[in-house]
Structures are given as structure tokens and as C-alpha cells.
Structure 1
Amino acid sequence: MFKKILLILTLFTLLSCNVTKPVIVTKKATPTSSKKVVARSGKKTNVVKPTLKKSSTQEQAEEENEVIESTSVTYVGTDVIGKYISQYKDIAMSNMRIYGIPASIILAQGILESGAGRGDLCIRANNHFGIKCHEGWTGESVRHDDDSSQECFRKYDEPAESFNDHALFLTGRSRYSSLFNLAKEDYKGWARGLRRAGYATDPKYPDKLISYIERYNLGQYDALVMGRDYTPFEKQDTRIAALDSQNRSLYEVQKGDTLYSISKKYNLLVTDLKQINNLSANTISIGQKLIVK
């Protein structure tokens, strides 16, 4: 009896071993997230970012551009400023005849306050002089961030209205009355007087106006109105400071100068001007002497 039981158990065990089981195959998931390329140096890990080399055309365009900052920050080229002057010089001279405000000051303020016509406030509201609503303004208006957030600025249907309102704004407020005692050709006095009277809060406001007047010879329009001869600003002073040991001409940097304006004056490329003076950046300072010939 015991032998029969043992035989049955043995047969059962053999049958159990022959039963097949399903095979489960597992695979490690492949990560799909992208990785940054890094360069390891010592204990620090520095992320290496791809760099795009600028073309010479792009570099020249950046050097020729300038930043105009007043009611908004605007990047424009000198050609844009030149077109702005050509477009509005006649109305500036007309307002000088009627109201006694120098055309040079009108144009310089227009360039600065409107970003040479490209600033946000000028595009949205035809406001070329950054004039705020102030008490008593009943015309249209827009909101714009300036000294404070979302301040009220005047809106005009066309640029001519803005130029006319600028003239009325200066002649109609007693705080600007002292300006009209100045000589019409005294653009520096007018520029500083505007700041003192509170037209702008920027302490560099007069210097900016003076720079535009001198760089773009805006005084010629004052001379036209007054019937006087005008000598272009560049010809009033050659500004050649001296000759160096190699008989190369040195130019002394004046207020308002940029590498681009100097390069145009002496028919040089900005890159060449920087190279011969061992300049690594576009920054120059008043009184600095640059090799120009």
C-alpha cells in the first residue's frame, strides 16, 4: 500500500514539471528627454550654449544704431533721424516764426521724445513731444508708462497737431516765459532752460538735445528763419588735437560724439576706427584722443 502511494506521488511530480508557463519579457524604457551639452571644469559644471557669429553687416547695423530713451526706449539708425528731420523741418521753422521757439529745439525735442517718430507713444497717439494730459486737457488720451505706471498722455489725430500743441504748451505756461528772453540761436540756453522749468526729469535732458542739434546741424533751420548765414557745426572746429609721433592725426572726443559719428566725419569704418585705436568696445569718453588719419 505504501509503495502504491509513493508511485502515485512520483507520477504527479513528473507531470507538474512538464507544464509550460508564459514568458514575461521586460525592457528598460529609453529616456526621451533632451539633454544640454555641458563642459566640466574642476568642481563646476558649465552649460555650453551655442553661439551665433554675427555677420559684418549685422555688426555695422548695430554700430550705426543708437538708443533714444525718453517716454520709451527706441532703437533707430541715423538714416531714420535724418528722414524725421526732413519730414518735420518745415513745420518746425513755421512754428519758430509764429511762436518764437527755435526750430532746432523743436526738432531736437521731437527726435528725443518721439524716438524719431518710431516710439510707442508717437505711433499710438501721434504724440511727438511726450506731453501729458495735465489739468484742463479735454482731448483724446492714451495710457503709457513713464515716471509712473499708466500715466495719461495726449493723443492727436495727426503729427501737425502735436507740433502745434507743443508750441501752445510752451507759450501758454509762465514757467517757460524766461526762455523767450534768450536769443533764438542760444540753443544751449533753451535746452538747459527747458530742464530747469520742469519739462523733463532726466538730468541729461539738455545734453541730449544739444547733442542732436550739433550732430545733425539743426541750427541751420534757425539761421534760415532769421535770414542768417550758417556754418555747419563740423566746420566750426576741426577738432584735430595734435599729431602723434607717427604724424597721425588725433581727434579729441567731444560731448555727443559716437564712434559712428566720428567714423563718418573722417570717412572711416567703425571697425577700422576701433582697430587702429585698439578699442574692444564702442564706449568712448569726452577728452579721449582717437587716431583718425
Structure 2
Amino acid sequence: MRVRVVFLAVCAVVLTSCGSGKNVVKSTPNKVVLESREEKLPEVPQLEQIQKPILTTTNHTEAYIQKFAPIAVKKMHEHGIPASITLAQGVLESGSGRSALARRSNNHFGIKCHRGWQGHSVTHDDDEKGECFRKYNYPETSYEDHSQFLLTRKRYANLFRLRHTDYKGWAYGLKRAGYATDRKYPQKLITIIKKYNLNKYDRIQPDGSLAAKTPSYKVSSHKVQKGDTLYSIARKYNTSVKKIKEVNNLESNNISIGQDLLVK
């Protein structure tokens, strides 16, 4: 009798090992019991849609732009920030969505916690070790917070006087307002916009149609040289001292060598 029980147990083990991996065999001295084991699905990263290249391109930056251009255009119509600027900042600040801060925290614009932030946060080494950065559940939230960050701070107020097609004015204005410490920040944004033709998104209408091109609005900058004054610069670019001060948010006529001034 004992031999028969052992034989049946061995058969049961062999049969169940050939079946689904979802069952576990548990044997006792007198019987064989099959217990159900629940399989756990692997966790999916929140930024998986960025990590996987879009089928139409193998370029990470192009894939990033394709993914987030609709969001940038939506925010442009809601808040008045050029979609080209938002996308260029996202590309530059997040490494096209591949930076550690973007992957870990969905923070695509390098926005730090700052006073009053009540959301989630994460520590990240930047200008200093272990700085506090904002953390979001979704990348889309990062885009909205980027808009609110610019809207709710007085130092960016002059930017919203510019047209949303004036991406050069916005690029230089962001640097003057203190968004970044990199002296070449405006040039880097403009280079990205030109390389990927991002200014085309600035002409997309709320209904998705493409607006007709308007005459270009020439925007240029002047790097202050030794001997320059606001008056001499104004004469050179056929503008006025008052206009230069207004555009550059200057409270006095004092300028310094190497300073970038927006002139129109």
C-alpha cells in the first residue's frame, strides 16, 4: 500500500511539472496537494513611453519632441508661453527625458522645491550636493508646473508682454530674469529650436490648424563692449534708450562689459 501511495505522488509531481508554472506542488506523507500561486506583474516605470523610442524615429530628442509637443502647444494656448521655448527647455533641462531627475521624478525643467512647495520632492546634486527638487507623478504635471512657475513670479512678467512667436525674445528674457546661470543659455535654446524647427509649433492654432506665417519680427542682441553706453547702442540699432531699458528690465543706465542686451 505504501508503495502505491509513493508511486501516485511521483506521478502527480511529474504531471504537474509539465503544466502551468502557476501551481506549486506540496506533498505530505499521505497525499499530494496543489496550491495556487499568484504571479506578480513587474512594475512599469512612469517614463516608459520616453524610454521606448517612437517607431517613426530613432533619435531620442526627436522622440521626446513628438511625445510632448501636443502638451507644449496646449500650455501655450492656456498660458501664453511659446511651445518652442517650453520644448527646448524640456530637451535641454532633461536631456530629452533621459536625465536622472526626469526618470526618477518626472521633473523635466529642473525646478527646485523653493519656498512654499508642498508637493513631493527628491534630493539631487546640482549647483550644490543634495539639493531639493520637485517630484511629480506624471511628466504632464511637470509641464503645467513649469508654466505656473513662470506665471507666478514677478521677474518673468515682462516675458508675457512678448508675442508667443518671439522665441528669441523669450530665450534672452529667461536668462535676464535669472532662470539659469549659464551665460549661453539663450543661445542653447535658440540652437535647439532652429535645429528641430520647433518654432512651427508656435503657429499651431487651438483647433490644431497651422496659422499662416506672419512677417518676421527681427530680434537681436548686443554684447556690451568697452566704451558702450545705452545711448550709443540705441543709435546703432535705431531704437531708443527708453525702449532698451524697458525690454531689458533695466532700472538705471548702468551697463557692464560683456552684458547681453536685447535690442529691437
Task: Answer yes or no: same fold by TM over 0.5.
Answer: yes
- 1:138 is aligned with what amino acid? Q
Identify the residue that residue 15 of structure 1 maps to in structure 2. Answer: none
Task: Name stretches of at least 5 consecutive residues in structure 2 with no aligned partner.
Answer: 1-56, 215-264
Equivalent residue for 2:123, pick from 127, 139, 143: 143
Identify the residue that residue 167 of structure 1 maps to in structure 2. Answer: 147
Tell whether 2:216 aligns with 1:229: no
- 2:187 is aligned with what amino acid? D
Identify the residue that residue 85 of structure 2 maps to in structure 1. Answer: 105
Q: Distance in 1 between matches of 2:73 and 2:119?
A: 26
Identify the residue that residue 31 of structure 2 maps to in structure 1. Answer: none
Q: Distance in 1 between matches of 2:145 and 2:58?
A: 27
SS in 1 for 2:113: coil
Tell whether 2:74 aligns with 1:91: no
- 2:61 is aligned with what amino acid? I
8 Å contact kept, 1:220–1:230: no
Identify the residue that residue 215 of structure 1 maps to in structure 2. Answer: 195
- 2:198 is aligned with what amino acid? L
8 Å contact kept, 1:96–1:225: no
Per-residue deviation, 1:113: 0.5
Tell whether 2:63 aligns with 1:80: no
Q: Distance in 2 between matches of 1:78 and 1:103?
A: 23
SS in 1 for 2:96: coil
Per-residue deviation, 1:229: 2.9
Larger radius of gyration: 1
- 2:133 is aligned with what amino acid? F
Per-residue deviation, 1:78: 7.5
% identical equivalent positions: 57
Identify the residue that residue 181 of structure 1 maps to in structure 2. Answer: 161
Superposition map of 1:39-54 within 5 A = none
Task: Name stretches of at least 5 consecutive residues in structure 1 with no aligned partner.
Answer: 1-76, 232-293
Tell me the TM-score normalised to structure 1 length. 0.51
Tell whether 2:178 aligns with 1:198: yes
- 1:154 is aligned with what amino acid? R
The 4+ residue runs of structure 1 with deviation greater than 3 A are: none
Identify the residue that residue 18 of structure 2 maps to in structure 1. Answer: none
RMSD of aligned residue pairs (Cα, Å): 1.9
SS in 2 for 1:177: helix
Per-residue deviation, 1:224: 1.2
